[in-house]
Amino acid sequence: MKAFLKQRPTGRLLYLYAAIAGAIYPLGLAPLNIWPLLFVSVLVLIALLDNQPTKQAFKIAYCYGVGYFAVGASWVYVSIHDFGHAPVWLSVFLTLVFVLFLALYKGIMGWLVGKAYTLKGQMGFYFTFPLAWLALDWFQGVFLTGFPWLYLGYGLVDSVFSGWLSWFGVQGASYFAVILMLLTYLCLQMVRKSSYKGLIKAPLTALFLLWAVSMGSSLLMDKYSSLEPTTEQSVSVALVQPNIPQNEKWQPELLSTFIHRYHNMTEPLWGADLIIWPEAAIPAVKHRVENWLELWSKQAKASGSQLILGIPVYEAEQQQIYASVITLGDYQQRYDKQHLVPFGEFVPLERWLRGLIEFFNLPMSGMTAGRSEQKALETERFNIYPAICYEIAFSGLFDKFNKSVTNQKDSLIVTISNDAWFGRSWGPHQHLQIAQSRALEYGIPVLRATNTGITAVINHKGQILSKTLQFEQNVLNERFIFKFASTVYSKYGLIICLFLVVILQLLIVLTLLKTQKNK
């Protein structure tokens, strides 16, 4: 790294280095989980962007983004090719368009950093880089339908910095990790500029203290993540993984087969506190299978179970279809998915795209988003925060559920998904890691039921207690002692994080001003 800092690559090699740095970033996330590579990737990007004017900074960061999303999100190819039945060339083209578009988020970040350097020099660069990273992460999560994927904070779930998530959330943890790398870069720069061996000791000592304090702060935050006493409950859960192939799921002639599969798999499970089926478990609209739903509801009531399942719901009066979660048993409720998957559940620019290729005409791709003011679901003992598919990536959804709760019951996150769309790619593993991060943020367990895996039970610390293998028919049927610890983040959201962001940014300015004055 020291040699790299001394002689930075130029010309096209500069863009190649940026793309490689971006490409190693996803290796720090699931399934490989080599989390130090997240820090290395960001450190290299900082070194490449330092002292770069606006246009050059945009190009460097854009190339970084291309590598970042090409490796981290190219699993969309599986959906387009395997299930959208697009030819290879078209699947590659559409995946490339997807990657090149997402890379603009990093490119814009680079442009902002370069502009700040052009206007204010080093002070502008150091001040803007962490803010631009945070702002573009946020924008990536809300623009159009939002794509809150590949955040640095997700990779901290199984790292020594996991404690940050319970105080600052995923995006806040990402910001502080970037600050850590910015300060690391400054220390390495001081080492590089030190002519005498004796002068090297000070920045190296500062670097050691920086990492020691950062790790120590995470351990303390993990220990004191909850402001309230931790509660504990014994819960028996049964998560059903039917392993229905995606290319068979919506074939009408197989509906009866799949209904009987669920029925038979669930028969020995009655009596469990919570029985959970995956997203769109029944591949038919709700009113077509009311007889079965009534039967299962009666069985749930008789056995003291609560059955939670995903099913499409058609509202004849509005002529709209919703991707829904319903509960059967003593408590009968419904939640409609708010964050729909583009092309999978609705088609953007439908008037022009619908029917062009099979990928733009997938089954159930004409759905309507649910109301944003929906409340958490309930069972006798718990509040249930439902999340369908990639809704688990939208932390704000759970903030709303938190605020909607008025009782004293403990809360659980129940997320149901159908990751068959992504085959054996990294997508399902990344999806599971996001669920782990939600558990850490809110200090509550997460129950994750999927069609083909990875079905999992996650505790309040984001640790996986039990999980299935992919592409096997299985049931997670166990009793767990769950702990519930309402975290600082669940109480205050981003307020504490934003307060510290302001303080840190002011400290950066004051430090840089003092440095310039000493010069």
Domains along the chain? Answer: 2-225+494-518 (no CATH), 231-486 (3.60.110.10)
Mean predicted confidence (pLDDT) in 485-514: 85
Within 10 A of 255 (CB to CB), how many other CB atoms are there? 16
pLDDT number for residue 317: 83
Q: How confident is the model at residue 515 (pLDDT cuts 50, 70, 90)?
A: low
Q: How confident is the model at residue 455 (pLDDT cuts 50, 70, 90)?
A: very high
Torsion angles phi and psi, residue 514, rounded to 5 = -65, -40
Within 10 A of 81 (CB to CB), how many other CB atoms are there? 19
SS (H, E, C) 155-202: HHCCCCCCHHHHHHHHHHHHHHHHHHHHHHHHHHHHHHHCCCHHHHHH
Share of the chain above pLDDT 70, in %: 91
Q: How far is CA 82 from CA 283, 344, 358, 362, 416, in A?
A: 19, 13, 11, 12, 22
- Greater confidence (435 vs 194) lies with 435
Mean predicted confidence (pLDDT) in 143-168: 95
Question: What's this model's pTM, rounded to 2 decimal places?
Answer: 0.93
Mean predicted confidence (pLDDT) in 90-98: 93
pLDDT number for residue 34: 98
CA nearest to 132, candidates 175, 83, 189: 175
Mean predicted confidence (pLDDT) in 482-486: 93
> Which of 21-30, 52-61, 312-321, 463-472 is predicted with the least confidence, judged by mean pLDDT?
312-321
Element (H, E) at 489: helix 488-492
Active site residues: 279, 337, 389
